[in-house]
Chains A and B, each alone.
Chain A
Amino acid sequence: MKLWPGLALAALFALTTNQALAQSDQPNGPATWYTFNGDLEAHKFSPATQITPANVHKLRVAWQLHTGDVSNGSGKIPATVWSATPLFVNNTLYVSTPFYRIFAVDPGTGKVKWIFNPHAVLKALTQPDLKTRGVAYWQSANPAPGQACQKIVYLGTMAGKLWAVDADTGKPCAGFGKDGVLDVNQWNSRSKVFPFSLLQPPTVYKNLLLLGWAGKDWADKVTPPGHVFALDAQTGALKWKFQPLTPAMEAETGKANAWTGFSVDPKNGLVYIPTSPPSPDEYGRNRLEKIKYGSAIIALDADTGKVVWSRQFVHHGLWDYDINAAPTLVDLNRDGQTIPALVQTTKMGFIFVLNRLTGDPIFPITEVKVPQTHVPGEVSSPTQPEETIPEPTVPARWPGVDTLANVIAFGGCGVRASKLINDGRFTPPSLQGSLIFPPSTGGIEWGGGAVDPATGTFVVNSSEVAQIYQLMTRKAFDEKTKGLTLPGYYPQKGSRYAVYLNTFENWIGMPCWKPPYGTLSSYDLDTGKLLWREPFGEVQKYGFYMPLSWGSVTIGAPAITKSGLIFIGGSMDSRVRAIDLKTGKVLWRWRVDAPAVSIPAVYEYKGREYVVFTAGGNTILEPKVSDQLIAFALPR
C-alpha cells in the first residue's frame, strides 16, 4: 500500500491530508488504519475482504512483538495499561507503549524499523497506572523533497509533553515546539493540582492537531479547566483554544475536559468534542449553575474553534458520567432521505443518535424525572435526557442480587444491598451509600462502537457493573484514612464531602449482582432496531473460566470489516475473537498474553490482510499485564 505513490501524483498533493488519507480508505482500495478509531469519522471499519466468516477459522499468528515496556507495579514503576491502537500508514505500523516510546514496525513481519525514546518520567502523575492509547500521524499535503518531518508521528506523555518525530526516521522534529517537544502544561493554569496527561493521541485534521487531556478524578474540587487546544501540526503553535467553562465557573470548579478521542466531519469542517463533568465528580455544590458544556458533545468549527452546536447528556453530573468516546459519524437512510448522523455512546448505556449538522435528535430524546438527592447542600437535576431507540445497552434498573454470590457471601450481598439506596437510573450518591448501575466504569467505555457505513450496522460492547457510591464527611474520611491513600477512598479536596467508591462484590471478589457482566450488541442504525445482543467474553477468576452466559466486563472496542466480521479483544479472559456480524456467533478466538484492552487495527499490506491487537492488560480487569503486539493473518 502506498499512500503517496510518487511525484507523478503531484496533483493529489494539493488535496488536504485528510482527503488524501480518506482516498486510501475507500472500498476496493488499500486499507489503512490511520487514526485511533481507524478514520476521522470513528467508523472502526475496514474495507478489507480477504478474511471472511468462511475462512476466519484458519486465522493464525503472522508475527508478534514484545516491546519490553511492561510493569506489574510490584517494583518502582507503576503498573502498565496498554490501550494503544496501532496505526497503519506510510507502509509502517506505529504504536506507542506505556513507557512512552514509539515503535515503528514492518507491518508484514513485525520487525522493528526504529524506536523513539523520549525518556519520559515513569510516574503515575494523574492515573493509578502508566497508560497510553497510541500515537497520531500527519503528513504534509505538499511535501518538500529531501526534508525531514514531512510526515510526523505524535506521542503524548502523562507529564503533558507532546513529541513530534519524523515518521521515516524516528528523529525529533526540530521545528515542533522546542526541539521536537511541546510542553502542553504551559497552558495549564493549575498545573500544581495535576499536569495535563496526554494519554489519548491528538486528532489530526488538515494541518491541525486537536488536543484534549486527562486529569485526576475525585481528588480536588477546583481543578484545571478542560481547555481543548488546536495546534499547528508542524510547529505546535497554538491556533485556537476552546474553553468549556466561563471564567467565573473556572474560579469555582474545573475540568469538563475532553480526555477521549474526537471525531471530524471533513466535508463540513466540524470537530466533535466529548466532555466530562465539572469537578468534583460526585458532589456539585460548587457548580449549581447550568454548565452546558459538561458531559456533552460539542460541535466546533475545526478552523476557528467556535461552537456550532452542543448537546448535554448529563445535567449536573454526580456520577462521573464522562462522555467518553469519540462519536461515530455515519450517513443514515430514513424514509428515502440521507441524514448526516452522529452516534454517541455513553457510560449510561444510552446510544444517542443526532443530526451531526444541527445536534437535533434523530431518534427521540426525552427529559425523564430522576431520583433526587437528600445530601445537604446538593441540588440534583430534576430530569435527565434518556432515549429508548436504539435500545440502551444497560437495563433501566439494576438486576438484583445474584443467588450464587449471595450464598457464597452467607447472605452478605443481600444484607448490604438492602442498606444501599437504588431508585433506578441516576440514583444520586448519598451519605448512606448508593448502589449505582451502571457506574462510572460504564456501560460503554472509551472505545465506543464500530459501524459499517454502507449498511448502517453498528456494533458496540458494553459492561454491566454495580458500584457503591458513598459520600463521607471530611471528619469521617480523615478518621478512616488517617492521612493514608486507601483503595476506594477519594478526598475531593476542598469539597464538603469525600467519596467512597467500590464495586459491589462479595468476599471472594464475585459480583453481587446478576449476570451478564458484559454484552455485545448490534443495531440497524437506519431503524434503530436491535439486531442481536449476546453475552460477550468470559470472566476468568483464579484461572477458572465462568459460564459463557455471564459475559465479561470489557475495555476496548470492536473493529468491523466489509466481509462481515467483528474483531474484538477487551474481555477479562485474555482472548481476542472474530464474530459473525450477522449473527453474533463467535467464529474464532485466540489466547493472548493479557486482556487486549484496545481497539484492533485491520489493514492490508502487500496483498495480505492483517488484524493486529495490543495485548497489554488493565489491572482494573485482571492483574495480568503484557507487552505483546500480535498480528493475525490467513496462512499464505
Chain B
Amino acid sequence: MRIKGAGGKEYGLWMMVVGSIGGIANGLFGYFYPDNGIHGSWGMLGVLCASVLIAIASILLAGFVVKWLWLRVLLLVLLFPAIVGTAFCSFMLELNSLVGLMAFALLGWCIHIFIPSGLFARPVGSGSGVL
C-alpha cells in the first residue's frame, strides 16, 4: 500500500528531523572540538553516524519520499532503538545537549505514533483518507 504526505500535520516527523539535525551538529562539535574529552573517540564517531542515519530516515519519512507503508513502518520501528540508543550513548559520553535533542526526537516519534492522524494519514487509494 502506498500513502501520500500529510504535509504540515506531520509535526512528530519534523521534530525528529530537527532533533537529528541538531544531533549531527552536536556530534560534529563533539567529534572535532579538541577540548571536550571525547573528541576523536570511537564512541563520538558512532553517535555522529547514528545521528546522520536518524536524520536521513526522518527526512525520508517527513518529506514522504518513502511512500511504501511497509518501509515507513520498518523505518519507524528502527528509529525507536536508534533514537534511544543514541540518547543512551550520548549520556555515556556526558553530552547532555545531544541527550536533550534525542529526547526531543523521541517525543516527535511518540507524537507521530500515538496521534492517529500522524502515522498512516491519507493512504493513497484507500478512499476514506484514513487507514
Residues from chain B with a CB closer than 8 A to the CB of A573 are 37
- Give Cα distance in the complex from A545 to B96, angstroms: 13
- Give Cα distance in the complex from A575 to B93, angstroms: 14
Q: Is B78 an interface residue (CB 8 A)?
A: no
- Residues 76 to 111 of chain B near chain A (Cβ within 8 Å): 89, 92-94
- Give Cα distance in the complex from A543 to B32, angstroms: 13
Interface contact A591-B37, CB-CB below 8 Å: yes
Q: Closest residue of chain B to A593, judged by CB?
A: B35
Q: Is B38 an interface residue (CB 8 A)?
A: yes
Residues from chain A with a CB closer than 8 A to the CB of B35 are 591, 593
Interface contact A545-B93, CB-CB below 8 Å: yes
Shortest C-beta distance, A551 to chain B (Å), equals: 16
- Residues 1 to 38 of chain B near chain A (Cβ within 8 Å): 35-38
Interface string of B33-68 (1 = CB under 8 A from A): 001111001111000000000000000000000000
Can you list 25 A-B pairs with a CB-CB distance of less than 8 A?
A: A540-B37, A542-B41, A542-B42, A542-B43, A543-B38, A543-B41, A543-B42, A543-B43, A543-B44, A543-B93, A544-B41, A544-B43, A544-B89, A544-B92, A544-B93, A545-B92, A545-B93, A545-B94, A573-B37, A574-B37, A575-B37, A591-B35, A591-B36, A591-B37, A593-B35
Shortest C-beta distance, A630 to chain B (Å), equals: 12
Known contacts A543-B37, A575-B37; 16 additional CB pairs below 8 A are: A542-B42, A542-B43, A543-B38, A543-B41, A543-B42, A543-B44, A543-B93, A544-B89, A544-B92, A544-B93, A545-B92, A573-B37, A574-B37, A591-B35, A591-B37, A593-B35
- Residues 511 to 561 of chain A near chain B (Cβ within 8 Å): 540, 542-546
Shortest C-beta distance, A66 to chain B (Å), equals: 12
Q: Closest residue of chain B to A541, judged by CB?
A: B43
- Give Cα distance in the complex from A544 to B90, angstroms: 8
- Give Cα distance in the complex from A481 to B19, angstroms: 53
- Residues 584 to 609 of chain A near chain B (Cβ within 8 Å): 591, 593
- Give Cα distance in the complex from A575 to B37, angstroms: 9
Q: Closest residue of chain B to A547, judged by CB?
A: B92
Chain A interface size range: 10 to 19
Q: Closest residue of chain A to B38, judged by CB?
A: A543
Residues from chain A with a CB closer than 8 A to the CB of B44 are 543
- Give Cα distance in the complex from A118 to B116, angstroms: 76
Residues from chain A with a CB closer than 8 A to the CB of B42 are 542-543
- Give Cα distance in the complex from A546 to B43, angstroms: 12
- Give Cα distance in the complex from A593 to B89, angstroms: 22
Nearest 8 A/B pairs, CB to CB: A543-B41, A543-B43, A544-B92, A543-B38, A542-B42, A542-B43, A544-B43, A591-B37
- Give Cα distance in the complex from A545 to B94, angstroms: 7
Residues from chain B with a CB closer than 8 A to the CB of A543 are 37-38, 41-44, 93
- Give Cα distance in the complex from A593 to B36, angstroms: 9
Residues from chain A with a CB closer than 8 A to the CB of B89 are 544
- Give Cα distance in the complex from A542 to B93, angstroms: 9
- Give Cα distance in the complex from A543 to B93, angstroms: 6
- Give Cα distance in the complex from A198 to B60, angstroms: 64
Residues from chain B with a CB closer than 8 A to the CB of A591 are 35-37
- Give Cα distance in the complex from A573 to B41, angstroms: 13
Residues from chain B with a CB closer than 8 A to the CB of A545 are 92-94
Instruction: Output the residue of A543, A544, A574, A591 with the most chain B CB within 10 A.
Output: A543
Residues from chain A with a CB closer than 8 A to the CB of B92 are 544-546
Shortest C-beta distance, B2 to chain A (Å), equals: 42
Shortest C-beta distance, B26 to chain A (Å), equals: 14
Residues from chain B with a CB closer than 8 A to the CB of A593 are 35
Residues from chain A with a CB closer than 8 A to the CB of B36 are 591
- Give Cα distance in the complex from A545 to B43, angstroms: 10
- Give Cα distance in the complex from A573 to B92, angstroms: 12
- Give Cα distance in the complex from A575 to B38, angstroms: 12
- Give Cα distance in the complex from A546 to B94, angstroms: 10
Q: Closest residue of chain B to A575, judged by CB?
A: B37
Shortest C-beta distance, A257 to chain B (Å), equals: 37
Shortest C-beta distance, A349 to chain B (Å), equals: 29
Shortest C-beta distance, A48 to chain B (Å), equals: 28
Residues from chain B with a CB closer than 8 A to the CB of A540 are 37
- Give Cα distance in the complex from A574 to B41, angstroms: 14
Q: Closest residue of chain B to A543, judged by CB?
A: B41
- Give Cα distance in the complex from A62 to B33, angstroms: 22
Instruction: Output the residue of B35, B38, B89 with the most chain A CB within 10 A.
Output: B38
Residues from chain A with a CB closer than 8 A to the CB of B37 are 540, 543, 573-575, 591
- Give Cα distance in the complex from A512 to B89, angstroms: 22
Shortest C-beta distance, B27 to chain A (Å), equals: 12
Residues from chain A with a CB closer than 8 A to the CB of B38 are 543
Residues from chain B with a CB closer than 8 A to the CB of A542 are 41-43
Shortest C-beta distance, A439 to chain B (Å), equals: 27
Residues from chain B with a CB closer than 8 A to the CB of A574 are 37
- Give Cα distance in the complex from A544 to B92, angstroms: 5
Instruction: Output the residue of A540, A542, A573, A593 with the most chain B CB within 10 A.
Output: A542
Shortest C-beta distance, A390 to chain B (Å), equals: 34
- Give Cα distance in the complex from A393 to B43, angstroms: 32
- Give Cα distance in the complex from A546 to B91, angstroms: 10
- Give Cα distance in the complex from A545 to B95, angstroms: 10
- Give Cα distance in the complex from A543 to B35, angstroms: 13
- Give Cα distance in the complex from A573 to B37, angstroms: 8
Q: Closest residue of chain A to B37, judged by CB?
A: A591
Shortest C-beta distance, B44 to chain A (Å), equals: 5
- Give Cα distance in the complex from A540 to B43, angstroms: 10
- Give Cα distance in the complex from A544 to B35, angstroms: 15
Q: Closest residue of chain A to B31, judged by CB?
A: A543
Shortest C-beta distance, A548 to chain B (Å), equals: 11
- Give Cα distance in the complex from A574 to B38, angstroms: 10
Shortest C-beta distance, A590 to chain B (Å), equals: 11
- Give Cα distance in the complex from A540 to B92, angstroms: 9
